[in-house]
Amino acid sequence: MHFTAPVITGSGRGKKLGIPTLNLDTAHVPDTLEEGVYACFARLGENGTRVPAVMHRGTRPTFGDTPSCEVHVLNHIVAIAPRSLVVDVVEKIRDVQKFADEHALKTQLKADCEHAASLLCISC
C-alpha cells in the first residue's frame, strides 16, 4: 500500500519516550489500512529522501487517546518536519495493544523498530 498524507502537530509523547514521530492527518490515510504497527518506507516530502520507518495506525489504548497515524523514522534524524509524508507500507508487525505503563510501551516500541529494521534490511 502506498499513500501521501500531510504532517500535523502531535502531542510530543513519542519524543518524550525517545522515539519521535511524524504525525499524519488521518483523513488522508486509507480506510483499508487496518489498525496496527507496520514496517514501511517514508519519503520526507513528495520528492524527499526515502527512509526506513515504523508506522502506528489506530487507537492508543495505553493513553486512552484518540486514533492516530504516526511514523518513526529509523536511523535518520528529521530536523525539520516535512509538509507531507509519502508512505510505502511493507509489512504489518503486530496489532495495536494496551501496555501497563510507558516503560512497557517503550520496550515494545524498541522491539518493533528492531523487527522493522530486519524486515527492511537495515541495521539499527
Rounded Cα distance between 48 and 17, Å, is 26
What pLDDT does residue 75 have? 85
pLDDT tens digits along 64-99: 888 999 999 998 878 788 999 999 999 999 999 999
Half-sphere CA count of 27, side-chain side, radius 13 A: 3
| 123 has pLDDT over 70 | no
Q: Examine the pLDDT at 124 and tell me if it is beyond 60.
A: no
Domains and CATH numbers, the chain: 2-119 (2.40.30.30)
| Distance between CA atoms of residues 93 and 104, nearest Å | 17
User: Which region among 40-44, 60-64, 71-75 has the lowest average model confidence (pLDDT)?
Assistant: 60-64
pTM of the model: 0.92
pLDDT at res. 48 = 82
